[in-house]
Homo-oligomer: A and B are copies of this chain.
Amino acid sequence: MLRHDYPGLDCSVAKALEVIGERWSLLIVRAVMHGNRRFGEIQESLGIARNVLSARLQRLVDEDILERRAYQENPPRCEYFLTEKGLDLWPALIALLDWGERYTPRPQGPPRVIVHKQCGGRVNGRGICEACGKVLHARDAKQVPGPGWGPAVASAAAADSRG
């Protein structure tokens, strides 16, 4: 992207896209949401160039979407966590996920499905539990293997189980 802002557009969609509309940004948020916290984990799970990942993480921290926490001093090592602002992107991610699944379906079905932690019901594209009808937030939901589960998604799942 040449510029990542949309000057002159008085629209909150544009404002949102100025922050998370850059290539990779939303996928990084999703990777962290799935439990990938370290630079190497995120890099490997996405296959993103290291310099670009570095720049995006910096931007996401600056925008208060991610929080950087040291887990070790010597040598300095850190992990990335979602802030409340970052967690609030969950409905948008769920909506995109739903749209993506609807229009680029796989023969075996989705590799992962989102379920309500409390009741185990399937979560729909609006972030609503289909079993109990509750409107959920990021912390209320988790991913579990779906019908299209395969080895390609195993590493993400391993990270997920740690989260």
Contacts and interface: CB of A to CB of B under 8 A. Distances in A.
A70 interface: no
Q: Say whether chain A's binding surface is mostly helix, strand, loop, or mixed.
A: helix
A96 interface: yes
Interface in A66-111: 85, 88-89, 91-104, 110-111
B9 A97 contact: no
B23 A1 contact: yes
Interface of A: 1-2, 6-17, 19, 21, 23, 26-27, 30, 46-47, 85, 88-89, 91-104, 110-111, 125-128, 135, 150, 152-153, 156
A42 B57 CA distance: 33
A152 B10 CA distance: 7
A14 B27 contact: yes
A123 to B, nearest CB: 12
A115 to B, nearest CB: 16
A26 B17 contact: yes
Given A85-B103, A126-B91, A96 B9 contact: no
Contacts of A2: 23
Given A8-B47, A128-B135, A13 B91 contact: no
A162 B30 CA distance: 38
